[in-house]
Structure 1
Amino acid sequence: MKDYKNLFFKILKNGGLFLILIIFTFYFVFRDMDLNTVAKTISNVNRMYILIAATCMCIFLLCEASNFRRNLTALGYETNLLKCINYSVQGFFFSSITPSASGGQPMQAYQMYRDDIKVSHSTLVLFVEFIFFQTVTIMYSIIGFISQRSLLDGKVNSLMVLFTIGLVCNFTMLMLLVLVLFYSKGVKKITDLLVRFLKFCRFKKADLLKEKVYSIVDDYKDCAMYIIKNKGIMIKTFITKCVQIFALHSIPYWIYRSFGFNEYSIFVFIGVQAVLFISVSALPLPGSVGVSESGFLTLFKLLFPVTVLNEAMLLSRGVSCYLFVFLCGVFILVKGFRDSRAKRLARIRAAKEAKEKNVYKQRVVQQI
């Protein structure tokens, strides 16, 4: 029960800022609007398309779970889809409620550790997943920007600054990961040059920095070998990641169709959403709350009529973020309660068996 209470307070603590940001965001968005009109507009949408949008989020979670299962199986673990869905749900929830999505991967690694997966293997699987996520996210954003340039050009200059920053940050991170994985000697040489310069500048912790970089490079040698030896699995992981991001980026389109519009194709919406996604990714806000909403209002005014733009934003973010953060949170709490209860019952059962064993021994001794 103690573990369950700790989990509950951890969710409450991390979710506090997330909830506050949501409240402030929607206050500023809807403060000058008639809420009855907003509710009426939303109530008239085609619910079938809302269900499709929700299904896309399920596909998003299932694709990640599928990648986990595939790579863990390749490492020799007997796992199942339900356990891997748990890892995916944990990652989505804690990434959404922590700044810069910093809580997702540590929680996934912890859950894998509880399932007797070595830390080195869980780190490897999460690292592979992260590399492909970065690769596909960047790929979609570049394709989206190029394909929709005529639509975006000159109309959203303020957001294009964020797009450039987000693209540069994500691409730089991806290149650093690739260098660490496949050009370890080159990274060590660059580190040596940097350390010499820092020593020349009398930086006291230069040697400590060198040790840390060398340690990271050595740790990821196994990951590089795993990727090289399992090219078929990497191709499947990449394709699955493409499907996953496609499903996520298609959600605004299904919201668009729910209002009865069909002028623009799904590929236009995926392109624009990919640009928005990379634009807000570099900002250290839980779930990108605030900036994602304002970015949606800025970019999607090019596709949605102004009369339903705010409602469309509410539905799109509601499905892709808030609804599934809530559902994942409930899933985690229920699972935490069940696991805690199972542990408590196991301890009671073990204590009872130990007591019965002691009583039996005493009887044997008395008989002797």
Structure 2
Amino acid sequence: MLAIGVGIFYWSFRSTSWHSFFLSLRQTNQWWLLVAVGAMLAYLGLEAMVVKLFVDHQGATISFKDALRVPMVEQLGNGITPFAAGGQPMQLIALIQSGIEAGKAGSILTMKFVIFQGMIVLNFIGALLIGHGYVDDKLHAWAIVIWLGFLMHMLVIIALLLLMFWPKFADKLVQWGLNGLAWFVPQRVKEWQPLIEEKIQNFHRESKQMLKNKGLVLKAVALTFVQLMVYYLIPYFILLALGSQHINLALVLALHILIFMVISLFPIPGGAGGAEVGFSVLFAQFLPTHAALLLAMMIWRLITYYMGMFLGIFAFNIKTNYQKEQAAKKV
């Protein structure tokens, strides 16, 4: 992904004046850049609070440090897999490494993901109300891509709700997967089946239990809303750092929400290529030169994508309190 990123940056800058680029870089307000980095860290911290909220409700214990490890590891999983498919499994591993039972961990992550996807859809509707004129007037074909992204997120929510509230659907889905694996490791599948069935039942039981607590769900919704708003503000801070003035904050928020939809459609990890093009198209009007626009795009990707991956690598190699306790028992 680093190699692909370098290639995309090189291609983007191929016809840009390096003098203009370095001039824009020298004029950058570093304090606003620090605010943008802080916004990304706050985004991860708020997600950690949601993780801790659900874990504590399940009667388990997790320190904030170990809870913070979960969204960081998620960033790594999202960043290196197509359609960000690796984020959920990596979070599951992180929770199990923190001593959370797999069934409970699965229900926690599914509930968190349903709320996260639901807030994305609601934010998209708000963004469309604010930015639909801009999209129709200036983006044309991109409007189709954005709507496809919205449809994809809606289908994900529907699939997750079916998984949570239709046990037979989940059982059939898992059974199809096990039948496929049985062709390669029949003995292992035979050993795994009763354990997996037990985890599925536990998953449904824990999911229903969490939904009964409306206060818990509302707290998670509020935290997730703030988390996403902080993330959506990052381009605004970058534009301020590059000297943009009289920026329409609501429009910038709306356009970043729309980019989020565009990224989800590209099968390359991190939406590489589509994310950079989408940012350049949507935010071109806010910056005076092409060099400044490309600098803004590069800073945005470094903060929202590459920084998260490196934090994930760092976090994945830190032992949790549970792992340290288990290691001490073996000594």
Do the two structures share a fold, i.e. TM-score over 0.5? yes
Residue identity opposite 1:63 in structure 2? L
Take 1:112 and 1:181, find their aligned partners in 2: how far apart are those partners?
19
Residue number among 7, 20, 37 corresponding to 1:37 in the alignment: 20
Taking the TM superposition and a 5 Å limit, the aligned residue runs for 1:226-245 are: 226-245=209-228
- Please say if residues 136 and 143 of structure 2, whose CA atoms lie closer than 8 Å, have aligned partners that are also in contact: no
Q: What secondary structure is seen at the aligned counterpart in 2 of 1:155?
A: helix
Q: Does 1:332 align with 2:316?
A: yes
Q: Name the CA distance, whole Å, in 1 between partners of 2:285 and 2:80.
A: 29
Residue identity in the other structure for 1:150: G
Which residue in the other structure is 2:100 paired with?
Answer: 117
Indicate yes or no: 2:14 matched with 1:20. no
Cα deviations by residue, 1:218-246 (Å, 9 ceiling, x for unpaired): 66532441233211010000011001111
What is the deviation of 1:291? 0.7
Alpha-carbon contact 2:97-2:322 (below 8 Å) kept: no
Aligned mate of 1:313, from 293, 297, 320: 297
| Partner SS, residue 328 of structure 1 | helix
- The amino acid across from 1:89 in the alignment is M
Q: How does 1:114-193 map to 2 (within 5 A)?
A: 114-182=97-165
1:148 is paired with a residue whose SS is helix
Distance 2:223 2:326 in 1: 39
Q: Say if 2:255 and 2:282, in contact at 8 Å, map to a contact too.
A: yes
The structural deviation recorded for 1:153 is: 1.5
Of the two, which has the highest radius of gyration?
Answer: 1
Contact 2:266 2:272 in 1 (8 A): no
1:83 aligns with 2:48: no
Distance 1:121 1:217, change over 3 A: closer
1:250-283 per-residue CA deviation (whole Å, 9 max, x = no partner) reads 1110011112223123221111100111122122
Take 1:78 and 1:27, find their aligned partners in 2: how far apart are those partners?
Answer: 47
SS of the residue 1:129 aligns to: helix
Take 1:90 and 1:108, find their aligned partners in 2: how far apart are those partners?
A: 6
What's the % identity of the aligned pairs? Answer: 22
Hey, what does 1:361 align to over in structure 2?
Answer: none
Kindly state the Cα deviation for residue 138 of structure 1 after the two structures are TM-superposed: 1.2
Letter in 2 for 1:24: G
Paired residues of 1:181 and 1:223 also in contact (CA < 8 A): no
Q: Deviations over 1:147-197 (max 9, x none)?
A: 112222231122212111111111122123234434668x69xx9xxxxxx
Contact 1:138-1:278 within 8 A present in 2 as well: no
Asked whether the equivalents of residues 130 and 250 of structure 2 are also in contact (C-alpha less than 8 Å), the reply is no
* 1:296 maps onto 2:279 in alignment: yes
Moved more, 49-58 or 150-159: 150-159
Instruction: State the Cα distance separating 1:344 from its structure 2 match.
Output: 12
- Where 1:262 maps in the other structure, the secondary structure is coil
Q: Which amino acid is 1:313 matched to? A: M
- Counterpart residue number, 1:363: none
SS at 1:153 equivalent: helix
TM-score, normalised with respect to structure 2: 0.83
Partner residue of 1:322?
Answer: 306
Whether the 8 Å CA contact 1:180–1:217 is kept in 2: the answer is: no
Compare relative contact order (CA 8 Å, sep 6+) and give the higher one, 1 or 2.
2
Matched residue type, 2:313: G
Q: What is residue 275 of structure 1 aligned with on the other side?
A: 258
Q: Which amino acid aligns with 1:177?
A: L
Greater mean deviation of Cα atoms: 25-34 or 219-228? 219-228
Matching residue's letter, 1:295: G
8 Å CA contact 2:40–2:231 kept in 1: the answer is yes
TM (normalized to structure 1)?
0.75
Aligned-residue offset at 1:115? 2.1
Which 5+ residue runs of structure 2 have no aligned equivalent? 173-192
Q: Which blocks of at least 5 consecutive residues in structure 1 are unaligned?
A: 1-17, 192-210, 351-368
How many residues align? The count is: 305
**Matches of 1:69 and 1:336, distance apart in 2:** 17
Structure 1 contact 301–309 (Cα < 8 Å) conserved:
yes
Cα distance in structure 1, aligned partners of 2:289 and 2:165 = 49
Which of 214, 233, 236 is the matching residue for 1:253? 236
**What displacement does 1:118 show?**
0.4
Paired letter, 1:82: K
